[in-house]
Structure 1
Amino acid sequence: MRIVILGSGNVATQLALSLKAIGEEIVQVYSPNLTNANNLAEKVAASAISNLAAINTKAELYIISVKDDAISAVAAELNHVNGLVVHTSGTTDLSILSDQVKRAGVFYPLQTFSKSRNVSFRHIPICLEAEEQDLILLRELAGKLSSKVYELDGEKRKVLHLAAVFACNFPNHLYALANQILQQHNLDFDIVRPLIAETADKVMVNLPDNVQTGPAIRGDERTMDKHLKMLSNLPELQEIYQTLSNSIKITHK
């Protein structure tokens, strides 16, 4: 299948590399920054463009993988192509495409991506939405990449994205705050990495509620008071600590 990648960020990069690896033909990479377009295009043997007027109109699939607020502007430049146009957003309605292009769909991989860290798509959930005929094409492509393919409408996809923020973005920020606390006392983040790994491993085989530990679930007010006093010079962390501890206590009342 001839595919055009519109975007050069984290998702676009990993998706382009993985599609190339399974034998799909990436014919073109677009980015408003030509250097970024070239960097990705070289990795997948594609041509690079920075002007949508130069878009290849013969591709079967156009994957828009840009910031959510830029999807509409990119789609507006694709109203003349006959191929299927999809976006990779978890929170953007299909209508932002279907109102502008001939054939529209969603191809949303649920994972955290970085340009520098290659990932296997084999177990990454890919969420699809499209009209039935185009859904067949997307199912076939997604099935080549992943063993976990789901058909979700826009509302369920938004719920999934919200849950993903709680499951991924917030915990990573808490790791950053933990590192901040450690650095203030000349301790290395490596010390807590095994703890993070074990916590993640446990929820792979258990529901999170069933493996919750710590002073809040034990009702250990004495320890929590000590922790809050230790954070007296960091009131924003005090607030986060109190809010999360209260949430744990309420959940496990």
Structure 2
Amino acid sequence: MRLVIIGSGNIAHFFASCWSGPHQIIRIISRNSAHASALAHAFQASYGTSYDEIPPDADACILAVNDDALTEIAAKLRLSHQLVVHTSGSVSMEILQKISSHHGVIYPLQTIRAGIPVRHAFPVLIEASDPEARQLIRMLASHISDKILEADAAKRRQYHLAAVYTNNFVYHLMTQVRWFCETHELAFDLLLPLLHETITRIIDYPPFSQQTGPAKRNDQQTIQTHEQMLADHPALLELYRVFTDQIRKLYSDA
């Protein structure tokens, strides 16, 4: 297939890398001309900054942009016959209806950053407007993952929300922990074996069964000591109290 990618960020880089072998990336379009040029150069494609610059011989147009940009593109872009796909977990497929009659979604359920390889297999959630679009979308998705699942907008939003907790909030929590370690001249690396073991147990066992710590035991003396230690770390103190309260309530009812 001859593909046009709108976007030049992490998802655009990832999809271009996945598809440049079995397909041809013919054009990159991005509001950032420098980024569009760099990505296009990497895959021997042309580039531009206008949504009107879709080559007529393109087979599909991939909207690898953030959710706010999708609304803007949907109001401007019009295709005659080509497939158009967005990659969002939280936006309905219907936003693409006016762009093309053949439309759908390819949503990778994974954290993706340009230049950092994904080391584990992951699922891709798809949705399509019609059988022809579904066939093309499934074929494109097959070059990203062996695990392809169909999911409508409601189910995809739920997975996206669950992914925010699983990924985004964990990064934030560990960022706060790292700052705490640096402030108190502690070696953050000493916590990494614990982090690895925690993730391994989450994979191997129900998380509820593996919970330990002062909140589960309702160890008031330790909890009070920890809160005093966090007096100069309001962000961590707020998180500590929320987690402690929820864990204590959850296991008091168990």
TM-score range, shorter chain: over 0.9
What's the counterpart of residue 209 of structure 1?
A: 208
SS of alignment partner, residue 169 of structure 2: helix
Q: Is the 8 A contact 1:232 1:238 kept in 2?
A: yes
What's the counterpart of residue 98 of structure 1?
A: 97
Q: TM-score, normalised by structure 1?
A: 0.93
What's the counterpart of residue 231 of structure 2?
A: 232
Identity rate of aligned residues, in percent?
37
One-letter code aligned to 2:80: V
What's the counterpart of residue 130 of structure 1?
A: 128
125-134 or 171-180, which deviates more: 125-134
1:251 corresponds to 2:242: no
204-213 or 158-167, which deviates more: 204-213
One-letter code aligned to 1:73: E
SS of alignment partner, residue 204 of structure 1: helix
Q: Is the 8 A contact 1:107 1:138 kept in 2?
A: yes
What's the counterpart of residue 140 of structure 2?
A: 141
Map 1:163-242 onto structure 2 (within 5 A): 163-242=162-241
How far has the Cα of 1:39 moved from its partner?
1.2
How far has the Cα of 1:45 moved from its partner?
2.0
Question: What CA distance in whole angstroms lies between the structure 2 residues aligned with 1:138 and 1:80?
Answer: 17
What's the counterpart of residue 6 of structure 1?
A: 6
What's the counterpart of residue 64 of structure 1?
A: 63
Q: Is the 8 A contact 1:58 1:81 kept in 2?
A: no
How far has the Cα of 1:47 moved from its partner?
1.3
Q: TM-score, normalised by structure 2?
A: 0.93
Question: Matched residue pairs, number?
Answer: 251
Instruction: Please give the per-residue CA displacement for 1:107-149, whole angstroms capped at 9, x wherever unaligned.
Output: 11111111121226x7221111112311122112212321211
How far has the Cα of 1:88 moved from its partner?
0.5
Question: What CA distance in whole angstroms lies between the structure 1 residues aligned with 2:202 and 2:80?
Answer: 44
79-88 or 209-218, which deviates more: 209-218
Cα RMSD (Å): 1.6
Q: Is the 8 A contact 2:84 2:99 kept in 1?
A: no
What's the counterpart of residue 18 of structure 1?
A: 18
Distance change in 2, residues 1:37/1:235 (3 Å): same
Distance change in 2, residues 1:105/1:147 (3 Å): same
How far has the Cα of 1:12 moved from its partner?
1.1
Instruction: Please give the per-residue CA displacement for 1:23-73, whole angstroms capped at 9, x wherever unaligned.
Output: 211111111111101111122221111122222222222110111011122
Distance change in 2, residues 1:224/1:57 (3 Å): farther
Q: Is the 8 A contact 1:215 1:224 kept in 2?
A: yes
Q: Is the 8 A contact 1:142 1:149 kept in 2?
A: yes
How far has the Cα of 1:16 moved from its partner?
1.1
Question: What CA distance in whole angstroms lies between the structure 2 residues aligned with 1:200 and 1:150?
Answer: 24
Unaligned runs of 5+ in 2: none
How far has the Cα of 1:223 moved from its partner?
1.5
How far has the Cα of 1:87 moved from its partner?
0.5
Unaligned runs of 5+ in 1: none
Question: What CA distance in whole angstroms lies between the structure 1 residues aligned with 2:214 and 2:115?
Answer: 37
Question: What CA distance in whole angstroms lies between the structure 1 residues aligned with 2:204 and 2:23?
Answer: 34
Distance change in 2, residues 1:249/1:99 (3 Å): farther
What's the counterpart of residue 74 of structure 1?
A: 73
Instruction: Please give the per-residue CA displacement for 1:178-230, whole angstroms capped at 9, x wherever unaligned.
Output: 01110111123212122212211222222221222222122222221111110
